[in-house]
Amino acid sequence: MQSLTGFTTIYASLGGLQPGTMLTQLFFFLVLIALLRKFAWGPLMETMQKREDYVSGEIDAAEKSRAEAEKAQAEAKEQLKQTKQEAQQIIDDAKSAGAKQEREIVEAARREADRIKESAQEEIANEKEKALQALQDKVATLSVQIAGKVIEKELSTQDQEKLIDEYIKELGEER
């Protein structure tokens, strides 16, 4: 009985349990939850989902932009590296072309100098040959003249010395 007395005390302290009121309150509570779900919770969750999708999209776009920027930076570095290599190749080619041209110019100058030297040597040899020929012709002429004079007169030793002196004197005058 004690338990029944305890129950009545709880019942009395709560103001009494009225099942009809409880069912009505339960019904309206469920209607309120249904209305909140439809008109408040659904749009709120939809808005939250849209916001989450937007933020996720922005993060994805930022990641994509960052990846593209890194890719562009890598491409720019590669292009700069390639440009430097091409510039170095152009410099190396220009140096080798300059060295080649220098060798060609030096070789052409050397060949021209050799040709001029050869030409000068040939000209000197020709002039020497002409001078020798002229000298031989002159000696032959003088020999004939001396022989003619010797034949004209028989010469004594003094006459021969005199004739030789005259001959040498003539040679000196002709030069």
CA distances from 125 to 72, 110, 130, 139 (A): 77, 22, 9, 20
Residue 32, pLDDT score? 93
Residue 152, pLDDT score? 62
Q: Is 153 left (phi over 0), alpha (psi -120 to 50) or beta?
A: beta
Q: What is the pTM of this model?
A: 0.39
How many domains does the chain contain in total? Answer: 1
Range of the domain at 146: 47-174
d(CA 17, CA 11): 6
d(CA 94, CA 19): 106
> Is 42 inside any structural domain?
no
> Is 128 inside any structural domain?
yes
- CB-count exposure of residue 71 (10 Å: 0-12, 13-18, 19+): exposed
Residue 10, pLDDT score? 52
Q: Contact at 8 Å (CB) between 129 and 122?
A: no
> Is 69 inside any structural domain?
yes
Q: Which pLDDT tens digit goes with each residue over 63-77?
A: 999 999 999 999 999
